[in-house]
Each structure stands twice: as C-alpha cells, then as structure tokens.
Amino acid sequence: MVKVSSRPGSALPLALLALLPMLGAGAGGFGCSKNEKPEERGAPPPPVVETAKPGACAAGGGTVDDPVQGEFFVRTAGSYCLEPQGDTKTYGDRGKLTMDQVCTTAVDGECEVYKSYGLKRAVIVRYVDGGGGGGSVEVILSTFGDPGGAYGMFSKRVIADADPADPRAPRAIAAGGAGALGNGRGYVWKGPYLAELTYLNEQESPEQIAKSSASVLTAIAEGLGGKLPGSPDKPAAAKALPTANLVPNGIQYFPKEMLGVARLGAGAVGYYKEGAKRYRVVSLVRDDADMAKDAMKLLRQRPGTLPVAQLADEALHLVVQDSPDRPKSEYVVARKGASILGIGDEDLALKPGEPAEKQAEVRLTKDEKVTRVRGWLVAAAGAGGAPAAGAADAGKPTR
C-alpha cells in the first residue's frame, strides 16, 4: 500500500503505452501518461529506526495490536520477529486512525492512487532481526473493497514503469495468490489484500541489501500469504490471458475504466516473450455478449480502425501511436461471446526511429496476430472460458 520506505519512487505504470491512447477522454486513453504528476511518483525518505539488540526475539517476538487482522501476521520468520512492544498502526475501518490520516501520517504523494483502487483499511507492523544484524522489515497490509482492486494495485506495484521481462524486475515467488520479490522489497496479493514488505538496514550497502533481504522477505511473505483469507484466483480478465510465453508476474490489471477509457470497465494486459518476439495481450471478460459488444463499440470509435473478416464474432485492426516520438503499434482485437482478446506490439521493445526490418525482429505480423487470437479464442471456448497453458501454441501457424 503506502510507501514509507527506501523503495525508489514509482510512477503510474506505463503498462500499455501503445494501446489505444486516443480512446480515453482526458485520461491518456489506453496508455499511461509519461507526464504524470510528481506527487503521484515519489516515496518519502526511509524512516529512522532503532537497531534491535541481539536476543530481541528470545521471547518469541511481539504481537500485532489489531483485533481485526492481527492474526494474519506470523510472529517469527528465521531470525526475525515482530518487534517486541512494537507500535501497530491501523487506519480506516475499525482502525485507530482514519483513512484521511493515511494521507497525512503514512503516505507521501500516493494516497489518492490507493484510494482510486478502493483502499479501505491499512495495518503497518515491523519485524526486527533478533540476531542483532541491524535489519528490519516494514510490512504494510492494505485491504481493498474487492479482490480486483487489490490485484490491480499489486500488478501496478510489481510492473511499475519497467519491463517485467527485464532481469532486474521483481521475480515471482509462491506466496498468497501471487507474490513478487524485488531488491529489498516484496509483495503479496490474495483476495482483497495486498501486503508490501520493505527491508531496511542502514549498516548495509545496496548490494548487500539485495542479497541479505531475500531470505527474510520470502519467509515473511510466505507466512503472511498462507494466513491471509480469501481466494487466490485472479480476476476473470487476468485468468483469461493465455499462459504460454507469459512473462512471470507480467500481468497488469485495471479494475475499472481500463487504462482511463470511460465506460470500458475492467481488463487485464499480459506481457509476452517468445524467443526474440515480444507482444502484449489485452483481455476483457464481460457478464454477457451484449456487454462485450458495447466494449467493442468503444474500441471501434477510434479513427482509422478497420474490421477484420472471418475472425470470431467480430474483430478490429488498430494502428496506434502513443506520441509522435514513439513507433506505431498494431493490434488485432476480437470478441467471442462475452470475451475479448487482443494482441499487439510490445512498445517497450520498439525503439523510435528504428528501421522497419529491425522492428520486424521483435514484432509479430498481422497474420500471426490473427492466427494467435483465433487459436486462443477456440481454446478458451473449449476450456470453458480461460485459455489453457498450451493455448498460444494452438494459435500458431503450422510450418
């Protein structure tokens, strides 16, 4: 949830810079603006914390003073434990502090971002190293109005404004419904909950922090993920994304007005890597076919959109350019019943001014996109709605 740590500032994610930016009215459309407000970006400086003395965990650690969610936190994890006599901060529903105080005492600049995802409650606790190593872990457990809001915020935090295929991106860990481990930080999602873990140690260099934090963050994340109630199932649009060639943790979920497009509703974007080829898949799942048709109408309003014949119930071809200094991206979007899937170029893999033959090394052709979308939708219909692990292969042309 909130950032009171040494985590580098993160902008609103550039998850879909290339996808239909002109559809959103005054909100950057399907792309996230590169000119975001500074107050939505940064995290405050890390808090000054006292180093726990050796033996601080000898009595088994402290407890979380919160009758609502205190039982979700493990008392010990390796040599770490809940800080004895630690000060538990609770905000919002049945908390000691109000949600307004989240903005004034716990968050710097991102309060409205969390609220936009439906933040209802927050708990902040601290773990300390009983071995006297100087480390501590701050855990912020956020409760959202529904699982979609929590998963959306998780995906935003994990992807941030970076390429999830980058080796430096947070890696997936088995914790809760989804977990990720980055440099000195970790994330856990399950049901309506998002936990953010930050490791602090003023005695270590950044390189040392990256190494020493991994074990304790993983242990706390796994313990917390095992105790959190709620379903580990991702929202329908995220579940409908094909899994073959999907970058680990390479999903961004938008719980409402997908990517700023008014009335478009919830949807997910997947990041894919297939050899040298890079692409994105857009997924929307509606309650019925009529609602999906309405979503396609919104997409069809983009100037220059052309129909694609003999593909599912209806399909569109879109040529998108986020800004004059970005390469053009092509998308094929199709509807089958209440489901919509689209595939397009990976903006992060395209360099401005790059020759077409060079871009062709990472792009799929239009025919390849059509073939994949057709295969995914056929596989989804046969599997009852969600593409199976090999669905991407089902859509590939034979050789």
128-141: pLDDT as tens digits = 999 988 999 999 99
The answer to whether residues 343 and 380 touch, using CB atoms and an 8 Å cutoff, is no
- Whether residue 263 lies inside any domain: the answer is yes
Residue 214 shares a structural domain with residue 262 = no
In this predicted model, which residue has the larger pLDDT, 161 or 33?
161
Nearest Cα residue to 156 out of 40, 39, 273, 26: 40
Q: How many CB atoms lie within 10 A of CB 233?
A: 13
* Residue 133 CB contacts under 8 Å (≥ 6 apart), including other chains: 79, 201, 203, 212
Q: How far is Cα 144 from Cα 158, in angstroms, rounded to an integer? A: 17
Of the candidate ranges 13-17, 38-42, 176-180, the one whose mean pLDDT is the lowest: 13-17
Q: Is the pLDDT of residue 12 over 80?
A: no
Confidence of residue 391 (pLDDT cuts 50, 70, 90): very low
Domain count, the chain: 2
pLDDT recorded at residue 378: 86
Measured between alpha carbons, how far is residue 11 from residues 116, 161, 162, 266 in Å?
15, 6, 10, 21
Look at residue 390 in the predicted model and tell me its pLDDT.
41
In percent, the amount of the chain with pLDDT more than 70 equals: 81
116 against 8, higher pLDDT: 116
> What are the tens digits of pLDDT across the range 210-221?
999 999 999 999
pLDDT attached to residue 350: 87
Residue among 296, 301, 308 at smallest CA distance from 372: 308
Same domain, 172 and 34: yes
pLDDT, mean of residues 317-345: 88
Query: How many angstroms separate the CA atoms of 215 and 39, rounded?
Result: 33
Inter-residue contact 250 to 256 (CB < 8 Å): no
Whether residue 83 is contained in a domain is answered as yes
**CATH code at 255?**
3.40.1000
Distance CA 319, CA 330 (A): 5
Q: Give the whole-angstrom CA distance, residue 258 versus residue 295.
A: 11
- Tell me: do 171 and 198 sit in the same domain: yes
* CA gap 377, 333 in Å, rounded: 11
Nearest C-alpha neighbor of 7 from the set 220, 207, 197: 197
Q: Does one domain contain both 352 and 369?
A: yes
Q: Is 189's pLDDT higher than 80?
A: yes
| pLDDT (0 to 100) of residue 384 | 62
pLDDT of the residue at 394: 39
Q: Do 206 and 309 belong together in one domain?
A: no
In the prediction, which pLDDT does 369 show?
97
For residues 333-356, give the mean pLDDT: 91
3-state SS string for the chain: CCCCCCCCCCCCCCCCCCCCHHHCCCCCCCCCCCCCCHHHCCCCCCCCCCCCCCCCCCCCCCCCCCCCCHHHCCCEECCEEECCCCCCEEEECCCCECHHHHHHHHCCCCHHHHHHCCEEEEEEEEEEECCCCCCEEEEEEEEECCHHHHHHHHHHHHHCCCCCCCCCCCEEECCECEEEECCCEEEEEECCEEEEEEEECCCCCHHHHHHHHHHHHHHHHHHHHHHCCCCCCCCHHHHCCCCCCEEEEEEEEECCCHHHCCCCCCEEEEEEEECCEEEEEEEEECCCHHHHHHHHHHHHCCCCCEECCCCCCEEEEEEECCCCCCCCEEEEEEEECCEEEEEEECHHHCCCCCCHHHHCCCCCCHHHHHHHHHHHHHHHHHCCCCCCCCHHHHCCCCC
Q: Domain ends where: 168, 195, 227?
A: 227
Q: Over 50: is that where the pLDDT of 393 sits?
A: no
Confidence of residue 385 (pLDDT cuts 50, 70, 90): low
| 208 and 354 housed in the same domain | no
Most confident of 16-25, 291-300, 315-324, 383-392: 291-300
**Cα–Cα dist 153/155, whole Å:** 5
> Cα(317)–Cα(334) distance, rounded to whole angstroms?
9
For the whole model, what pTM was predicted? 0.83
Do residue 244 and residue 374 come from a single domain? yes
Do 27 and 148 sit in the same domain of this protein?
yes
Could you tell me if 206 and 113 are in contact, meaning their C-beta atoms sit under 8 angstroms apart? no
Whether 180 and 171 have beta carbons less than 8 Å apart is answered as: yes
Shared domain check, 207 and 124: yes
Domain-embedded: residue 11: no
For residue 378, report the phi and psi dihedrals to the nearest 5 degrees: -65, -45
Residue 31 clears pLDDT 60, i.e. is over it? no
The pLDDT of residue 354 is 82
Mean pLDDT across the chain, nearest whole number? 83
Structure token pair of residue 279 = 């692409």
Q: Is residue 15 domain-resident? A: no
pLDDT band at 320 (very low <50, low <70, confident <90, very high): confident
Q: Residue 248 is part of which domain span? A: 236-394
* Residue finishing a domain among 178, 195, 227: 227
Residues 56 and 126 in one domain: yes
103 within some domain: yes
